[in-house]
Structure 1
Amino acid sequence: MALFAGFSGLSLLRGASGLPPGQRKKLVVLAAVVLGGGIWSMHFVAMLGLQLPVLFFYDGLATLISALVAILMVGLALLLLHFGRRTRPRMALAGAVLGGGIAAMHYIGMLGMELCGPVFGPAGVVVALLAAVGLSNLAIWTAYGTRTRGHILLGTLCFAVAVVSMHFIAMAGTEFSREAVASSAGPALSNALLAMLVTLSSFVISGVALLSGVSFFTPAEAQETGVRAVPPMPAIPAPDSPAPAAAARAPSGAQASSLPVPFERDGKIHFAESSAIAAIRAEGHYTVIYTGKQKHLSPWSITEACARLEPYRFIRVHRSYLINPAHVSHFQRTKDTGVCFFKGIETLAKAPVSRSRLADVKSALGV
């Protein structure tokens, strides 16, 4: 369950940073519910396997609070990651919040036990919390250090290990005492009723994981089947990059010097002239285009952008980057790879050049 929830939440957010704030918030909410629900489901799947020599049940209110706390704290961690620049302190804080959410969910859920109360040892609490925070940070840095499929899958594994490890470390440091009377604040949840709720949540999370996997593992080229090429439309220039007049002066029958590239903003499709675009970066099944002081999300995949823009002197420098050599200020060789730096592009200072593309880049730049 931890693996399914981690994969669903992390893959849902792939490419979210390039979306408009409204769409990004919706994805963060959905991912928080899936990840927080996954933490809750994993905990109670394990608790259904707990055998004690006395009868016990759960306080419904405490059980609900434990789920909501997990969702809220995971949501806060995701907001830190997807709204604002991902600096080292910010990512570390997100990892700490995520780890704290896992621990809070566990101990609040345990406090909901009735007729057999948990007794927590201080050492067990400290070790469990350190494990949750440390492994959550590992998951964040792995999944968000580089947003590739492989890193997201490794981040999923780290998240699952964080949830499972924290639970069983905490259980190893927990003892139980018999209570004469129950002190429930909400309705009583027996193991049978809890099993039905956990089954339902597990089904939902598994379904979301299945739907996420369809787009996550399908190559971008396969998803583009049926997309037809359309003739260039009159460009609506990006606000920070006025359309050049060269295209308007192109003679009839000649290839235009610039191609309108679509991007989404405020729920509408706008166009930026390719001559004003410095670089294009892959972001999931979409791309981010960089023009002057702004960046925009384009519905084109990096494969489609490469195919359409290569005739306009764009070159593929990395599996995730396409650049316009006209905007490169200088080039730096680093062992077997390289780096292209841009002038006047505030949102993107540089783009990596892979070893396999190094010769093409040097040829295009004349170095």
Structure 2
Amino acid sequence: MTDFAGWFTYSPILVLLSVVVAIQAGYVGINLALLIPTAFANRRRLLIAGSALTLAVGIWSMHFIGMLAVRTSITINYAVLPTLLSFLICGLVTGVAVYLASLRSHLLLVAAAVLMGLGITTMHYVGMIAVHSVMHLTHDPAYAIASIAIAIAASGLTLWLAFSADRRPPLFLCALVFGCAVSGMHYTAMVGTTLHMATAQAATAKSLISSDILATIVSVVACSISAVFMLALVPAGAKDASSDSVQTPSETTSAPEGLAEADLLLPMEKNGKRFHIASDEIASVHSNAHYTYIFNGRDDLFCPLSITDIAARLPEAMFPRTHRSYIVNLSFVARIKKSGDAGVAELDTPVRRTVPVSRSRLAALRDELAAFKASAKGAATLEG
């Protein structure tokens, strides 16, 4: 057998194309992922699926284009089954990781980063099995371990920037970090890869389609999938997150005087059953088109009332409007932080969630939260 590693070069154009594909997938995938915590019902599931599929397609396409960038004196063919299996692994693992990270638990975020990193690495090495030619591959353990570390670090950094960073950098910067890190994992693993072949088998038939054309097709398909999800899912979410049209407290109807907070019951529906929920169990309220959902810290419950009717029944001091489509219970708010031009209120609930805050309400809501906590602390001191 003859080592083939010395003849192993890359097409610079295809290497650059692989990095660009990873960056654009990261941009769209992270953008969709950022909308997950504030989404409900079917839209939440669509966002998880869209983010996972966009990231998976981008990661897989980057690796496939990276392999097409390899230049040797023989033609490299790819077995179909391992190639498809590598994509399925990437899609499944990425979907689970994005979902876990969207729950906003630090422990789950670490688990998501490890899972996603191992999934990316597994996808790479399963994909390498698809190199169906007159050669076989060996991998340097040191570079394999380094590629795993890079994949986990890249996944962790991406998920942290998207879900947990106090001051998130611009989205393009997050995508740039993601794309470069995923590409770095692939090319690090390839440095430790050696191709072996029998000397007598050096001549092989040419492929029916060139690597350049196939790489172009893959990149166009990957970008098209990202564009479809971007156009279908992001505009509505962006509108919800940035709108400044907020109904101020003075425009709402005050709650009936003399009615205790715990006695304010709102009608709910779930799985065909109807029941009532007390106001002190409500963490947030979200209006989505003609539907209204109440989040109780664990589940999203359908409410037949409009958000305006709900606001009229709840005490304004405790349930301010953060956005034209959102109401939050200040007793569940852990903190309020800036996010882009607007902000988000992080809820301290068993299932972590954020509620968007329009920029016109950001400063006022911070003051209201501070006053509410001071009042609650004073009341607790008096009771003590």
Same fold (TM over 0.5): yes
CA–CA distance in structure 2, aligned partners of residues 281 and 47 of structure 1 = 49
Match in the other structure for 2:93: 73
Matches within 5 A, 1:1-367: 1-83=21-103, 85-87=104-106, 89-115=107-133, 116-146=135-165, 150=169, 152-178=171-197, 191=211, 192-193=213-214, 195-206=216-227, 208=229, 223=243, 232=252, 239-241=277-279, 264-265=293-294, 266=301, 268=303, 269-270=306-307, 271-272=310-311, 273-275=314-316, 277=318, 287=326, 289-290=328-329, 301-303=357-359, 315-317=364-366, 323=369, 325-326=371-372, 328-329=374-375
Higher relative contact order (CA 8 A, sep 6+): 2
Which has more helix, going by share of residues? 2
User: CA 1:141/1:231 → structure 2, altered by over 3 Å: closer, same or farther?
Assistant: closer
Q: SS state of the match for residue 64, structure 2?
A: helix
State the Cα deviation string for residues 196-242 of structure 1 (Å, max 9, x = none). Answer: 34431233225545777767888966x55799x99747988553327
Alpha-carbon spacing, 1:49–1:162, altered in 2? closer, same or farther (3 Å): same
| Mapped partners of 1:103, 1:261: distance in 2 | 39
Residue 108 to residue 286, structure 1, CA distance change in 2 (3 Å) = farther
Question: Is the contact between residue 318 and residue 329 of structure 2 (CA under 8 Å) also seen in structure 1?
Answer: yes
Q: Deviations over 1:74-125 (max 9, x none)?
A: 1111121124x512x3211111111112211211111101113332121221
Q: Provide structure 2 residue ranges, at least 5 long, that are not aligned to the other structure.
A: 1-20, 202-207, 256-263, 267-276, 295-300, 334-346
For 2:366, what is the secondary structure of its paired residue?
strand
Check the 8 A contact 1:100/1:133 in 2, yes or no. yes
SS of 2:105's partner is: coil
Kindly indicate whether the alpha-carbon contact (under 8 Å) linking 1:220 and 1:303 is maintained by their aligned counterparts in 2.
Answer: no
| 1:190 to 1:237, Cα distance in 2 relative to 1, 3 A | farther
Structure 1 residues 226, 142: CA separation in 2 closer, same or farther (over 3 Å shift)? closer
Going from structure 1 to structure 2, the CA distance change for 1:325 and 1:22 (only over 3 Å counts) comes to same
* Residue 131 to residue 327, structure 1, CA distance change in 2 (3 Å): closer
1:110-154 per-residue CA deviation (whole Å, 9 max, x = no partner) reads 110111333212122111111111222222222222376526544
Aligned partner letter, 2:318: I
Report the number of matched residues.
297
Name structure 1 gaps, 5 residues minimum. 182-187, 243-259, 307-313, 332-340, 344-367
- C-alpha deviations, 1:285-308, integer Å up to 9, x for none? 9656126579699998524656xx
**Aligned partners of 1:162, 1:129: CA distance in 2, in Å?**
11
User: Are 2:136 and 2:195, in contact at CA under 8 Å, matched by a contact in 1?
Assistant: yes
Which TM-score applies when normalising by structure 1? 0.65
SS in structure 2 at match of 1:150: coil
TM-score w.r.t. the length of structure 2 is 0.62
Aligned identity (percent) is 23
Q: Which residue of 2 aligns with 1:361?
A: none
Q: Please give the secondary structure, in 2, of the residue aligned with 1:14.
A: helix
Whether the aligned pair in 1 keeps the contact of 2:32 and 2:234 (CA below 8 Å) is no
